Structure 1
Amino acid sequence: MRFLIYILFTGFPLLYLQWAQAIPFFDRLPRFELRVEGDRQLQDWLREQLEAQRNSSSVLQSYRDPRDVARYERGTLGKLLRSRGYYNARVRDYVSSGGIDYLVAPGPQTLITSIELEMPQRYREGIGNLPLSPGDPLDAGKVLEGVKVIEKYLGAHACLLDIDVSYQATLIRGEARARLVYRVAPSPEVRLGEVRIEGLTSVNPDFLRGKLQLEPGDCFSRRKLNAAQLRLLRTNLISSANSRVSAPYEGTVDVVFVVVERRHRTVRLGVGYTSDEGAGVTAGWEHRNIFGRGEKVEVESKANPVQQSLQGQLLMPRFFRDRQSFSASAELSSEDRDAYQADAFTLGATVSRKLSKHRTVSVGGELKFSQVQEQGEATEDFSLLSLPLGFKLDTTDNLLDARRGATAALEVRPYADLGQSSTNFVKNTLALTGYITGNNLKFEPTLALRIKAGVISGIDTLDVPADERFYAGGGGSVRGYAYQSLGPRRLIPPASPGGEPTLSDPIGGRALSEISLEGRFRFTDTWSGVLFLDGGNAYEDPPPRFGSSLFWGTGVGVRYITSFAPLRLDIAFPLEKRDDLDDDFQVYVSLGQAF
C-alpha cells in the first residue's frame, strides 16, 4: 500500500508523459533535429523556441506534409535569428522519412555602435541606464525593453499629454553594425483641471471620487488615469469605466470618467450532490451597494438531508481605511451527523486588513449558542465565545480555479464557554496550497498540492464540544471516505457476556492531518480532467501525524469550465477500505475546484 502511494507521488510526471505520447495527435508533427554551427547556446535556445511553437501553434498542427512544416519552421527560425541580431543567417532544412533536420549558419551578430536619445535634455539626463549599451548585440527584446524604460520614466516624472516613444535601428550590413535611436514625439506638458464622474445612478459620487486619487493641479499622467479606472472597477460597483480628456487650455486639461454601474442585486440558486450527504440545494440573495458606498448584504440558505442553515452577512469594505474591511454575520444551523446532532445560533464580527497585495490579517469575535448531543450521550448546552486571529498569504491567480501561485492560511481561535468555566480551549489550523502549470505542455497540466494540519489544546478530547472537534473524510478532506468517517472511535462493550465489542461512530479528535495531490489537464477551453490522491486522519491527541496512520483515497474527475468557476464531478475510491464502514466509492458534485 505504501509502495503504491510512493509510485503515485514520484511517478506522476512520467505517467503523464507516457499517456500523452500514446494519444494519436501528440506526436503528429515530424521529429526534428537542429544544429547551429559554432554556437551551442544559440542552438539550445532555438530548439526551445521551436518546441514551444509546436505545443501552441494550431497552424502547425493543421499541416500534414512535412515539407509544409519545414517551410513554416524555417521562416520562424529566420525571425528568431534576426531578433537576436543575426541578419545574415542562413537556414537550411532537410526533409526525410525520419523527420526534419535544420542546419543553421548564423553568420556574424550585429553589434550596436551608438545609442542616441532624441528628447528634451531635462528628460534625457534622468532616464538612467538602458538595457543596451554600445558594443552590445542588437537584440530586439532588449530594444523594446528600452522603449518601456523610457515610457515608465516619462510617465512618472513628466506631465506630457501624450507619451509616444519610438526607435529606429540603422543597419550597416557590410560591417555587422547598427546605430540605434530612441525618439520621444513632441507633446505639451499639462496639469489636471476639473475632474468629474458621469453616469452614476445610485453609488455615492464622493465615495468614488475618493477612489480616483486625482486632484486639480496634479501633474497629468496617463498612467494615473489608468490606475484610477482600475480602482473604480475594483469597487465591484462599476462594470465599465472610461476616461475622456479635454483639449489643453492654459496649460491644463479636464478629465471626465464615464462609468456604467453594475447591477447591485443578485439571486442565486444551486444544487449539489455527495454520496455521504445526498442531494442539496442552496439559495441566496445579495445587494452589493446597500448604503451607496459598496456595502454588501448577503442572505444564503443551504439544505441537504444532514445539514440545514440560514445565514445573513454584512460586509463593509474600506472600513476606516482603504485596505481594511468589516464583516458581521448571524447564522442558524442544524446538523444531524453520524458523530453528533447539533443546533446552533452564531453571531460574529471580523475586521480584516491587507498588509500588502498578498498578505491579509484579521481579528474578530464570535458568540455561539449550541445544543450538542453525541450518539448515546445526553444533550449538552454551550455558550462559546471565541476570538479568532488569522493571517493569510495568497499569491494565486484565480480564487476558484488557481493554476499558479500558493496560499498559506493560519488561524488561532481561543474559546471560552460563558456557562462552563472548564470548557476553555484553543483551536489552531494551518492550510497550505500550491499550484504550478506547464503552459507549454499538452493539455496545460496543473499540479496542485494541499496540506492541512490542526491542533486543539487546553482540555481533553471528550470535553471539547463534538461539533468543534476535528474530523476527516469527505469531499473537502479525504475523498473516497464518507464525511467525518475517519478518526478515533470508542470501543462499545458487548451487550451480553461473551459478545464481541463494537466500535462507535467517529467521536472526532484534537488533531488533524490532511494532504491532497491533484493533476489537472485542460482538454479544451471548457472541459478538463483530474487525477487525485488524498490522505488524512483525525487523532484523539496532538500532534498531527503525516506518516503511516493516514488513510488514502484516489479517483478521477471531470470539470466543465464556466466563466465563473468550474463545475466539478469526482468519483473516488478508498485505498484502505474498512469492512462494514466504507463504501466501494463516493461521488461528489459541486462548484469550484476541490482546493
Structure 2
Amino acid sequence: MRLARTRPLLIASASACCLAWSTAAIGQPVEPPQVVPTVEPASEAAIAAPTPPPPDVSFPEVAPIISDEEFEQAIPQIFAEDDPELNRPLESIADFEKRQAADAAADAPTPTVEGVPVPALADGDAWEVIGDAPITDSQLAAPLPPLENFDVEPVEFAEAEDDRENVGVTYTVQVNGLAAADDSTDVDLADLFGDLSALYDGDGKADNAAMLRARLSADGELMQRILASEGYYDAVVDTRIDRGEREEVQAGQPRQRRAITAVIDVKPGTQYKLAEIILEADPTVPPNLIADNFPLSVGEPIVAQRVQGAEAAIALKLPEEGYPFAEVGQRDILLDGATGDGVYTLPVEIGKRSRFGGIDTTGDLAFDAEHVEVLARFKRGDLYDSRKVDDLRQALVATGLFATVAAEPQPTGESAGDDTEYVTMLVTQQAGPPRTLAASAGYGTGEGLRVEGSWTHRNLLPPEGALIFRGVVGTQEQGIGATLRRSNAGRRDRTVELVAEAKRSDYNAFNAITGRIAARVSYDSTPIWQKRFTYAFGAELIATSEDDYDFARAERSRDFYTIFGLTGQIGMDRTDSLLDPTKGFRVTALIQPEGSLAGRFSPYARARLDVSGYYPVTDNIVLAGRVRAGSILGAARERLAPSRRFYAGGGGSVRGFGYQELGPKDPNLDPIGGRSVAEAAFEGRYRFGNFGVVGFVDAGQVYRGSTPTFSDLRFGAGIGARYYTNFGPMRLDVATPIGRKPGEALVSVYVSIGQAF
C-alpha cells in the first residue's frame, strides 16, 4: 500500500528531471542549483503536472526507453488490489499495544494463591505473585507495624563478596628514564620528585588499590610539571601498575601474594635552550641597566625557576635605581620543536625616573608627617631608591605603634630636573593599641626565681613618648620602677630616657635597699633593627643601704652610700642576629667614673670590656666564644659599696657556680667581691628544627686587686637545651663545677630567654 502511494511520486520526479535537462539542451539559461525546502504536496496531480513549455517551441520526437507494458511486466505482483486485509486503514499505536497485551495475557496461565485464581486488576494488568508465601486480602488491608518493632534480618549472600579493591596494599615505586634528564641539569630531579611525590609520601602503603591508582596518576602529572619546569616541554610520562608474585609467611604458613610496583616511565625528550633574549624597554639611565642586571644568558636551558628569578631581579633593580613605577610585563617564549631552541621576549615598562619629594601621611595617625621625616634616611632631591623606602617601613614597624602601616610612592608630575620628577611618599597609618602588658621569668642557682612584669603606654607623649611601669618579684630580689622614654628623639634611633626605681636585694654577697635616679641617651640595637655601632652615655644618682663584712670587727655591718656617677659605652656588632648570632663578632666597652658623696668625695672608675665571636662550622653547628675583663681603679675595695664591686658566677657569667659565688670570701664563705674580674666561655651549638643542644665550658675568677691576674681560674662544664621561637631561643642549662670545693653545689640550673652570650 505504501509503495502504491509512492510510485507516482517517483515517476513525477523522473519526468521533471528529464524536463530540466531538455530545457538546457535547447539553449535556455541554467540557474545555479538551489536547495529548496521540501513541501508536502497538496495532491498527486499537482506534483505530476509539468510546467507547460512556451507555445512557440517544438520538441523533437523522443523514443521511449521501454514501453509501459514492459515496465508493468518487470514489476513483480506484490498484492491483489481487491484484498480487503491489505486495503483496510492502519490501526493506531495505542490500539496495537492493547491488542498485543491482551493476546499475551490470554496465552499466560492464570495465577493462583492456594489454588484460588487471582483476578485481573482493574486496568487489565494481571496480579504478580511474589515468592511462595500466600497473601490474603486481610493481610493487604492490615496496617503496617511500627518502625521500632520491625524486625530486620541481615542479608546472607550465597557467595562471599569480593572485596579485593578495599584491601590495603603495599607497593614499591620505580621511576625509569629520569637519569637522562638528571645528567643535563644542575637540579637532582629524582630528589625533587621524591620530596613532592604522593607515592613516596605514602611510605609504600595504601588503603586500597583505588588510592594507589590515584597517587600514581597524581605523581605522573607531578613528573610532567617537574620536567617542564626544567625545560623538557616534549617529555612523555607513562604510568602503570606491575603485579608480580612473591612469597609471604603468615602464622608460619607461606602463601603467594602479588607484589605491586607503581611504575613511572619517563622519556624526557629535548631540553629547550634560550637561543635569543629580547628585552623590550625604553632607554634607561644608565643605558644597560636592564641588560646588565638580567641574569639569563643565551644557551642556557629554559628553567622556570631561573626565568622567574631573572624577572624578579629586574622588578627589584629598577626601583632601586630611580624607577618606582617600573612594571615587568608578561613573558613570551617561542619554542622550535625541530631545533630545541626558544626565543624569550620580555616587555618592561620602566615608568618615569623619579626623585624623593615630600612626605604625606593619612589614616588613623600615631604621629605626623614631620616625625616620619625623622625616621626616613632620605632627603628631598635624592634619587628614588626602594631600599630606603623599605628601611622607612621597617623603622615605622619598629616603633610598635601600628596595627598596619604602608609607605608607597605617589607621582606628582613636578619636574626635578635631569629628566626626573618628584614623588611624594604616602604613609598610610593604622594606629594599634598603644598599651602593652609584658612578663618574663627566669631561674638561676644562687639567684633564685625571678619574675618581671611591665605595663607600657608607648605613645603617651606623642611622638613616641612612652611611660613604663615595671615590677620585679623574686626569691632574692624585689623592686618597682618607672621610666619615661622618648624614642627617635630628634634623630633616627636615638633614645632618651629618665629612670626612677627602688629595689631590695638579698644575696650571699650583700643585702641592699637601693634607690636610683638616672638619665641616659643611647643609640642601641633592637631585635627589628640591629645596628653595627652603638653608644650610650648618661648620669645616675644612687642612694643605697648595704651590709658588708667588717674584717676589723669580724662581723657584718650595714652602711649607707650615696654615689654619683657617669656612664659611657660604645659597641660594635658584626653578627647576623641580636638574640641568636651564628657568625661574626661583638665588642663592647663600658666605663663608669663615679664617686661616693658621703663625707669626702672619693672618685674611682669602673671599666669593662666584652668580646664574643661566632663561627658556623655547618648550617646547624655553630662554635661560640666570649671573654670579659673588668677593673676598678682609684679606690680600695673597702671604700666601694658592695653592689658596685665585681662578681662572677651564674647563668650570664661562669655556669656551674651560684650567682656571685666566685672570688674572695669572708670567714663565713660568703662572697665579698673584688676590684677586677676575668671570664671566658666556649660553646658548641647544634640545632635541629626548632630544638637545639649546647655543650659548654666556662671559666672565670674575681681578684682583690684592680688588675686581673688570670690565676686560680675556676671552670664549669655542662649541657644545655634550646627551644627556638620567633622572638629568640629559650634556654635551659645544667652545669657542674670542675674541681668542686666544699659548699659549692654539685649541679646548677639556669633558665632564661636568649643565648648565654
TM over 0.5: yes
Secondary structure of 1:175's aligned partner: coil
Q: How does 1:201-280 map to 2 (within 5 A)?
A: 203-204=367-368, 206-208=370-372, 211=375, 229-242=393-406, 257-280=427-450
Please say if 1:320 is aligned against 2:522.
no
Deviation at 1:289, TM superposition (A): 0.8
Deviation at 1:258, TM superposition (A): 3.8
Match of 2:201 in 1: 62
Deviation at 1:371, TM superposition (A): 4.0
Deviation at 1:408, TM superposition (A): 0.9
Deviation at 1:351, TM superposition (A): 2.6
| Residues 153/269 of structure 1: CA separation in 2 closer, same or farther (3 Å cut) | closer
Query: Which residue, out of 332, 341, 350, partners 1:177?
Result: 341
Deviation at 1:319, TM superposition (A): 2.4
Match of 1:510 in 2: 676
Deviation at 1:202, TM superposition (A): 5.5
Asked if the contact 1:295–1:315 (Cα under 8 Å) also holds between the matched residues in 2, the reply is yes
Q: How does 1:325-340 map to 2 (within 5 A)?
A: 325-340=495-510
Query: Which residue, out of 392, 412, 415, partners 2:572?
Result: 392
Supply the AA of the counterpart residue of 2:719. G
Secondary structure of 1:154's aligned partner: helix
Q: How does 1:130-169 map to 2 (within 5 A)?
A: 130-156=294-320, 161=325, 163-169=327-333
Supply the AA of the counterpart residue of 1:553. A
Q: Deviations over 1:92-125 (max 9, x none)?
A: 99x999x999999988764433221112245793
Deviation at 1:149, TM superposition (A): 3.9
- Larger Rg, first or second structure (1 or 2): 2
C-alpha distance in 1 between matches for 2:177 and 2:625: 41
Query: Which residue, out of 351, 371, 374, partners 2:548?
Result: 374
Asked if the contact 2:505–2:512 (Cα under 8 Å) also holds between the matched residues in 1, the reply is yes
Q: Deviations over 1:367-414 (max 9, x none)?
A: 3344443334554535242332221315444x44x2645451412214
Match of 1:572 in 2: 734
Deviation at 1:508, TM superposition (A): 3.9
C-alpha distance in 1 between matches for 2:645 and 2:409: 60
Query: Which piece of structure 1 moves more, 188-197 or 345-354?
Result: 188-197
Deviation at 1:195, TM superposition (A): 6.6
Query: Which piece of structure 1 moves more, 331-340 or 223-232?
Result: 223-232
Asked if the contact 1:190–1:248 (Cα under 8 Å) also holds between the matched residues in 2, the reply is no
Deviation at 1:366, TM superposition (A): 2.7
Match of 2:515 in 1: 345
Deviation at 1:70, TM superposition (A): 11
Supply the AA of the counterpart residue of 2:346. Y
Q: How does 1:303-318 map to 2 (within 5 A)?
A: 303-318=473-488
Match of 2:614 in 1: 434
Any unmatched runs of 5+ in structure 2? Answer: 1-171, 207-211, 245-258, 415-420, 550-554
Q: How does 1:406-485 map to 2 (within 5 A)?
A: 406=584, 408-419=586-597, 423-432=603-612, 434=614, 445=620, 447=622, 449-459=624-634, 462=637, 465-485=641-661
Secondary structure of 1:143's aligned partner: helix
Supply the AA of the counterpart residue of 1:366. A
Secondary structure of 2:310's aligned partner: helix
C-alpha distance in 2 between matches for 1:342 and 1:566: 32
Supply the AA of the counterpart residue of 2:595. D
| Residues 552/165 of structure 1: CA separation in 2 closer, same or farther (3 Å cut) | farther
Identity between Structure 1 and Structure 2 (%): 20
Asked if the contact 1:454–1:470 (Cα under 8 Å) also holds between the matched residues in 2, the reply is no
Match of 1:11 in 2: none
Asked if the contact 2:594–2:603 (Cα under 8 Å) also holds between the matched residues in 1, the reply is yes
Please say if 1:582 is aligned against 2:744.
yes
Asked if the contact 2:356–2:383 (Cα under 8 Å) also holds between the matched residues in 1, the reply is yes
C-alpha distance in 2 between matches for 1:34 and 1:452: 58
C-alpha distance in 2 between matches for 1:245 and 1:155: 11
Query: Which piece of structure 1 moves more, 308-317 or 372-381?
Result: 372-381
Secondary structure of 2:742's aligned partner: coil
Any unmatched runs of 5+ in structure 1? Answer: 1-28, 440-444, 493-501
Please say if 1:537 is aligned against 2:676.
no
Match of 1:21 in 2: none
C-alpha distance in 2 between matches for 1:345 and 1:279: 22
Secondary structure of 2:629's aligned partner: strand
C-alpha distance in 1 between matches for 2:581 and 2:216: 34
Q: Deviations over 1:148-182 (max 9, x none)?
A: 34323432456575613343333334333322222
Secondary structure of 2:338's aligned partner: helix
Compare relative contact order (CA 8 Å, sep 6+) and give the higher one, 1 or 2: 1
| Residues 337/213 of structure 1: CA separation in 2 closer, same or farther (3 Å cut) | closer
Match of 2:287 in 1: 125
Q: Deviations over 1:425-447 (max 9, x none)?
A: 341121425375977xxxxx564
| Residues 340/171 of structure 1: CA separation in 2 closer, same or farther (3 Å cut) | same
Supply the AA of the counterpart residue of 2:734. A
Asked if the contact 1:520–1:529 (Cα under 8 Å) also holds between the matched residues in 2, the reply is yes
Q: Deviations over 1:21-66 (max 9, x none)?
A: xxxxxxxx999999967998x78x545x866887x76968732129
| Residues 212/275 of structure 1: CA separation in 2 closer, same or farther (3 Å cut) | closer
Deviation at 1:283, TM superposition (A): 2.8
Please say if 1:383 is aligned against 2:563.
yes
Deviation at 1:314, TM superposition (A): 2.6
| Residues 227/333 of structure 1: CA separation in 2 closer, same or farther (3 Å cut) | closer
C-alpha distance in 1 between matches for 2:359 and 2:566: 47
| Residues 188/579 of structure 1: CA separation in 2 closer, same or farther (3 Å cut) | closer
RMSD after superposition:
5.1
Secondary structure of 2:364's aligned partner: coil
C-alpha distance in 1 between matches for 2:324 and 2:475: 65
Deviation at 1:575, TM superposition (A): 4.6
Deviation at 1:236, TM superposition (A): 1.9
Q: Deviations over 1:317-375 (max 9, x none)?
A: 22222243323323323322212233433333333347996313213123334444333
C-alpha distance in 2 between matches for 1:248 and 1:320: 29
Supply the AA of the counterpart residue of 2:432. R
TM-score (norm 1): 0.71
Please say if 1:282 is aligned against 2:462.
no
Number of residue pairs matched by the alignment: 539
Structure ranking higher in strand proportion? 1
| Residues 414/192 of structure 1: CA separation in 2 closer, same or farther (3 Å cut) | closer
Q: Deviations over 1:492-538 (max 9, x none)?
A: 5xxxxxxxxx85535345122131425354566xxx35444241222
Match of 1:8 in 2: none
